[in-house]
A and B are shown apart, each in its own frame.
Chain A
Amino acid sequence: MLTAIVVSIVTFLVLQVLPGDPARLMLGTEATPEVYARVRHELALDQPPLGRYLNWFWGFLRGEWGNSWRYSMPVRGLALQAFPLSFSLGLSAVGLSLLVAIPSGIFMAIKPASLLARALSVATQVSFGLPQFWVGLLLIQVFAVELRLLPAGGNASPLGLLLPTLTLALPRSAILGRFMRAGMAEAMQQDYVRTARAKGLAGGVVIYKHALRNGVLSVFTIAGLQFAQLLAGTIVIEQVFGLPGVGQLLLAGVFQRDLPLVQALVMVIVLFILLFDLLFDLGLGLLDPRIRYE
């Protein structure tokens, strides 16, 4: 909560106080003094920063995010149009990466010496280092240009979201796969797993009933955090595939110096990240009683 307030102050400071004069930013250097004075007054820039901050923050909390300078529309309306797309993109990407990461992580943990596990390990290392926008461009090249199977972009239908989802899921499944492997490897060494083995339970039962349950916990935590971070991560991918999500809106705001738009979108994304941090801390405590103490 306190962090949220600090974050809001930082955002406000960076956008409204650091540049010195948002009215100048908005009008450029060639506006007449009268227009300049009028705009300053309309934007309430002639008031002290603290008052402006409180005004803005209070308005933000009540859902009044101001008007976009560029589009002359309420920022909230623009944001509400853009968020569902980015949201579903993030959700499907994290879902897909969990589907890939959990089985491959288990496999890497229980058969670390096998050829497939080694290959997976290399693939993890590689996909972790690939620039996402490049992967996106390559996928477009292969599936849209060469094979003509899928739309290249600018298309928010389920089919059009397939390539962006794949692109976003690739590095995330690599990270989650690593955590899965580490979590499983650790769980497999615990006493209760050895006990289960010793009393003669089949290997599969031990793995899925005893080890997996504990090994998978950290993976879910990380996946939750990743989902929140993905709202920022989709910015690049939306640019690659020309998808009208939050990223494109934010980027347009940046290039057109649309301060209210940028300010509100950044705040929403950051608050979202903080909220998910909190929720996952709480959720993890419910799943795993050992964590509750702190």
Chain B
Amino acid sequence: MNRGPTATRIWGVVLVGCVFALTILGYFYTPYEPHEVRVLERFQPPSGEHLLGTDHFGRDIFSRILVGGRISLLIGIGAVFLGSVLGTTLGLVAGYRGGAWEEGIMRISTSIQAFPSILLALLFATIWEPGIQVVLWSVSIGNIPNFLRLTRNQVLSIKKRPYIEAARALGARDWRIMLRHIIPNLRDALLVQFTVSLAGAILVEASLSYLGVGIQPPTPSWGRMLREAQNYTSLAPWTLFPGLFIAVTVIGFNLLGDSWIFRRDDVLKRE
């Protein structure tokens, strides 16, 4: 297993690095204007001219992929961040306060867990217009329980340690103990959870956009591109390329998260 963690980390960094590099490139340069419709150039197979071919409107697929990644990453990061802030806060309160607070918060958490993110998104899409807000809210709410339980369990195990009692004996207030003594202890675990959740969020966003309740045109997104490609795959299989980029992104973030788990275990072993 010695080689495992290093290889995991390297692959994770490489894959995520590639995705970020391409996405940043998309802000400055695309071979073609990603929205430009050229009816005469419909369904061109991949070639030197169109690296990954063109779609049913004659749009350059590679250019659209370059631009389509940013929305997935932005929404993924935004939604997981929102979920992590809410989840961590609730987890701190539940773990630190205990009693009825804990009971109530854990009840909410189990109820959220009964809703898979996709189902939550469909509920929101029924009452709102399909769009970014549906993905944002369903993914962030769906992520609350993970962060909540993680934080609460850590708080419970840390709370009784002597240095916390010492801090309290010195007259530190609750919020100061949380910020200065509890949060720093959580950082690594939260980072791992954040990365793994990000992979999941990107997957959910792509699925929702594919179902038609996520990102709406004209904004290009990988999931949406696949939805539009579905009718033409027998004619133009290269329209399926965006899926490869979703896969690379998700696998990259998963590997990165895994490698951090390994590293943390290494550190613990050395201690």
Chain B contact residues: helix, strand, loop or mixed: helix
CB contact between B255 and one of A6, A125, A137, A236 (< 8 Å): that residue: A125
List chain B residues, Cβ under 8 A from A33.
none
Chain B nearest Cβ from A65, distance in angstroms: 16
Cβ of B199 and Cβ of A129 under 8 Å apart?
A: yes
Interface residues on B, range: 35 or more
List chain A residues, Cβ under 8 A from B211.
235-236, 239, 251
List chain B residues, Cβ under 8 A from A270.
114-115, 119
Which residues of B are in contact with A by a Cβ distance under 8 Å?
1, 107-108, 110-111, 114-116, 118-119, 122-127, 199, 203, 206-207, 210-213, 223, 226, 229-230, 233-234, 237, 240, 243-244, 246-247, 250-251, 254-255, 258
Cβ of B119 and Cβ of A269 under 8 Å apart?
A: yes
The answer to whether residues A129 and B210 also contact, given A14-B127, A232-B119 and a CB cut-off of 8 A, is no
Cβ of B212 and Cβ of A255 under 8 Å apart?
A: yes
Which residues of A are in contact with B by a Cβ distance under 8 Å?
2-3, 6-7, 10-11, 14-15, 18-19, 25, 112, 125-126, 128-134, 137-138, 140-141, 145, 229, 232-233, 235-236, 239-240, 250-251, 253-255, 257, 259, 262, 266, 269-270, 273-274, 277
Cβ of B254 and Cβ of A125 under 8 Å apart?
A: yes
Alpha-carbon gap, A236 to B234, bound state (A):
20
CB contact between A112 and one of B1, B108, B111, B258 (< 8 Å): that residue: B1
CB contact between B123 and one of A128, A134, A266 (< 8 Å): that residue: A266
Cβ of B210 and Cβ of A133 under 8 Å apart?
A: yes
Cβ of B111 and Cβ of A7 under 8 Å apart?
A: yes
Cβ of A14 and Cβ of B123 under 8 Å apart?
A: yes
Known: A6-B108, A129-B250, A236-B210; 8 extra A-B contacts, CB below 8 A, are: A7-B111, A125-B254, A128-B251, A131-B246, A133-B243, A145-B234, A229-B116, A255-B212
Cβ of A134 and Cβ of B119 under 8 Å apart?
A: no
Chain A contact residues: helix, strand, loop or mixed: helix
